[in-house]
Amino acid sequence: MKSHCCERMALVCTLDCDQHESIYDCPDVTIACLDCFDEYGIIIRDGGQAKISIDYCPLEKTS
């Protein structure tokens, strides 16, 4: 992904946790940014690396 849809998504996708090796282990990370597939996904906390792909920004404010 060359750029994110908004500043908040860019911040979420660059979150760096010093307590967990994987974003799937860190409870503070809720969105996975997969550059290799050019997609975003909401992490499912099932003990693995499951996620639900999303097409629209969940952080963008709507009016």
Give 23-49 pLDDT, tens digit per residue: 888 888 888 888 777 888 999 988 888
Start-end of H helices in 1-63: 7-13
Residue matched to tokens 């307590």: 19
Give the per-residue pLDDT at 59: 73
Q: Distance between CA 22 and CA 60 in Å, rounded?
A: 25
Give me the numbers of helices (H) and strands (E) for the chain, helices first please.
1, 3
Give the per-residue pLDDT at 44: 93
Name every residue whose Cβ is closer than 8 Å to that of residue 51 and which is 6 or more positions away in sequence.
Answer: 32, 41, 42, 43, 44
Is residue 28 in some structural domain?
yes
Looking at every residue in the chain, the average pLDDT score rounds to: 82
Is residue 1 in some structural domain?
no
Q: Is the pLDDT of residue 1 over 60?
A: no
Q: Distance between CA 9 and CA 47 in Å, rounded?
A: 24
Q: How many domains does the chain have?
A: 1
Give the per-residue pLDDT at 34: 81
Q: pTM score, two decimals?
A: 0.72
Domain, as residue range, for 27: 7-54
Is residue 25 in some structural domain?
yes
